[in-house]
Amino acid sequence: MEKRLRLPPRIKVLEALSAIADGRVRREGDHYVIVSSDGSRSYTVYLDEAKGLVYSNDNGTVYRGYVGYPIMAVLMMLGLLSFSKELSEGLRGIPWRELNEKYKNYSMVMDIIRRRIGEDKWPLYEKFIDEVLGELRKLNLRLMDKK
C-alpha cells in the first residue's frame, strides 16, 4: 500500500517556482530531472497521474514524507498545480541550498526571501502558496515504490 504524502512546508512552493524560473527542470524519457539551486545535486521525479502516485528522491519526500519541491515543480509545469510566471520570475537565482544549509530554519529563510521580494509584493506570494497547498490537498498524492 502506498504512503500518502503530507503537505510540504510553505517555503517549498517558492522553491518549486524558483526551480522553474531558473530552468532547472527537464524531462528525460519517462521521468523528470530537477537540479538543485547550486547544481551540486539532481533529483529524479516519476509521476503516474492516473493513479495519483509520485516519486522523488529529494530529502523532503524520502525522509520527511511530504511533497518535495521537485514534485511540485513538475506538477506546475504539467498544469496540474497552479503556476505564475510573474511570481516565478521574482524568485529567479535564489541560492536555496546555501540559505537552507546556512540557517537550517525555514522561517528565517522565508524572512530573507520576503525582504528580497519586497513587502508590497509579498501578499501575492502568500496567496499563491495557499492556493497551491489547497490544490495539493485535493490531489492526495501517494508515494510510489522506488523505480
Q: What is the pLDDT of residues 11-27, one digit of tens each?
A: 999 999 999 999 999 99
pTM for this structure?
Answer: 0.96
Query: pLDDT digits over 108-130, tens only?
Result: 999 999 999 999 999 999 999 99
Kindly state the cell numbers that stand for 51.
Answer: 493513479
Report the distance separating Cα 45 and Cα 70, nearest Å. Answer: 7
Please report, rounded to a whole number, the percentage of residues in the chain having pLDDT higher than 70: 99
So what's the pLDDT on residue 41?
Answer: 96
Report the distance separating Cα 116 and Cα 99, nearest Å. Answer: 13
